[in-house]
């Protein structure tokens, strides 16, 4: 049966995405697991899987086009299906559309609207049905992003993530394509339209400050032993380890020592994690992104360094995947290389904390003997969600982090 492939909602609150490419040629057959389209959101590139076998009859959107979520991007048919005149099929599919169809970019072929949802028959893959049943989700409450609205695995995974995450603020209205300079704009100044990523960052940080009761703890940590260990490792390793790699390992060690801090708050329950997944803030050309490193406690230091380098490279080229931007309970953000001595960051929802790392510098330290000497120290600030982590628990975590820095050899075992 001929169907329309529509732009899926890649991430909650995303109202449009860019069609990057068509990996499958027109008239080519594809299987259920084939990637039929590649799309890009403000933060990530996403492969859209077919969900079932079929034939790509016609693409309706050219690569590089911004498309509203739900708008048609291709016409799909079953393998061996005879359609006849394609234009007539497209008109037929649009005949049952609502009165106000979703807009389609000018580059797209015939403007088509979504057919009304058939609540009596819900299309879902067997795996999606099982995952929904085990997760306590009703298929009728899910939005399918597979062919013809078919519910596939990623739809259930996204719904389960939303179920365990705090409710987010509604997405802002889409930005206008251009911005006219204000009448009172100073001479020589220009008005630059916001990018989708900048609007997303603004929305999330505003939501964070409005809904999360922040408090912060500060520590000044001696890191001479840590720097000496890093120098020794880099003498023999073909993968250069950065200070930030060691910080990430120390955060994982603190989470293992104080597991009650490895949590996130949701409206229904506190979610506790068994493994340690840590997001790392990366300044990409398009804006700040926070990909998540999975299972940091299981990674060797060199494996962690390779992982971080890969994320930085793909963030720079805009090749991060949406799944890499989801999960975890804490974030590490480091401005030390810019000479910033100390700063306090805003928590990245739904995380319960974020560690801000400042520059390492020689500073005076008073020893137990009363003698004053110069030591390499690093200032860190932990911003905490007070709903999930109390002050005493946060202090225990900070003590564990400090201990990890003071005994850096423990980060290697």
Size (the chain), residues:
413
How large a percentage of the chain has pLDDT more than 70?
85
Residue in 194, 214, 255, 386 annotated catalytic: 386
Contact 53, 76 (CB under 8 A): no
Q: What is the mean pLDDT of the chain?
A: 83
Average pLDDT on 27-31 reads 90
Per residue in 70-112, pLDDT tens? 888 988 888 877 777 777 778 777 654 433 333 333 333 333 3
pLDDT at position 123, please? 67
Taking domain 3-163, whether its CATH number is 2.40.50.100 is answered by yes
Report pLDDT for 95. Answer: 55
- Can you give the residue ranges of every domain in the chain? 3-163, 214-412
Within 13 A of 37's CA, how many CA atoms are on the CB side?
34
Cross-strand pairs, 220: 379
User: Which residues in 213-308 belong to E strands, given as ranges?
Assistant: 214-222, 263-265, 270-272, 278-280, 282-284, 287-289, 292-293
**255 in catalytic set:** no
> CATH assignment of 214-412?
3.30.559.10
Cα separation, 254 vs 243, in Å, equals 17
pLDDT at 214: 97
Beta bridge partners of 19: 39
What element of type H or E holds 248?
helix 243-257
332-344 pLDDT per residue, tens: 999 999 999 999 9
Please identify which residue in the block is written with the tokens 């023999």. Answer: 236
Q: What pLDDT was estimated at residue 215?
A: 97
């Amino acid at each position: 049966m001929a169907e329309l492939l529509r732009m899926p909602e890649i991430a909650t609150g995303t109202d449009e995405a860019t069609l990057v490419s068509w990996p499958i040629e027109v008239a080519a057959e594809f299987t259920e697991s084939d990637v039929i389209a590649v799309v890009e959101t403000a933060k990530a590139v996403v492969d859209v899987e077919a969900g079932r076998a079929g034939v790509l009859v016609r693409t309706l959107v050219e690569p590089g086009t911004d498309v509203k979520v739900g708008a048609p991007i291709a016409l799909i048919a079953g393998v061996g299906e005879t359609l006849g005149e394609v234009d007539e099929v497209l008109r037929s599919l649009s005949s049952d559309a609502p009165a106000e169809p979703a807009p389609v970019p000018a580059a797209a072929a015939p403007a088509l609207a979504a057919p009304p949802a058939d609540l009596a028959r819900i299309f879902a893959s067997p795996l999606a049905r099982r995952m929904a049943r085990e997760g306590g989700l009703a298929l009728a409450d899910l939005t399918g992003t597979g062919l013809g609205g078919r519910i596939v695995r990623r739809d259930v995974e996204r719904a389960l993530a939303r179920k365990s995450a705090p409710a987010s603020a509604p997405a802002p209205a889409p930005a206008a394509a251009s911005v006219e300079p204000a009448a009172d704009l100073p001479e020589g100044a220009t008005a630059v339209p916001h990018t989708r990523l900048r609007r997303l960052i603004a929305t999330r940080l505003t939501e964070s400050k409005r809904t999360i009761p922040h408090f912060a703890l500060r520590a000044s940590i001696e890191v001479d032993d840590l720097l000496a260990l890093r120098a020794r490792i880099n003498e023999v390793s073909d993968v250069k380890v950065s200070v930030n790699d060691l910080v990430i390992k120390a955060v994982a060690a603190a989470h293992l020592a104080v597991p009650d801090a490895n949590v996130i708050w949701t409206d229904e329950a506190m979610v506790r994690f068994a493994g340690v997944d840590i997001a790392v803030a990366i300044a990409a050309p398009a804006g700040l992104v926070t990909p998540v490193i999975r299972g940091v406690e299981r990674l060797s230091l060199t494996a962690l360094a390779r992982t971080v380098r890969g994320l930085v490279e793909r963030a720079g080229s805009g090749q991060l995947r949406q799944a890499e931007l989801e999960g975890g309970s804490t974030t590490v953000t480091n401005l030390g290389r810019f000479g910033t001595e100390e700063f306090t960051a805003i928590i990245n929802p739904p995380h319960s904390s974020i560690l801000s790392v400042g520059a390492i510098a020689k500073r005076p330290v008073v020893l137990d003997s009363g003698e004053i000497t110069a030591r390499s120290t690093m200032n860190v600030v932990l911003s905490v969600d007070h709903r999930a982590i109390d002050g005493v628990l946060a202090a225990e975590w900070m003590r564990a982090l400090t201990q990890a820095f003071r005994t850096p050899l423990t980060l290697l075992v």
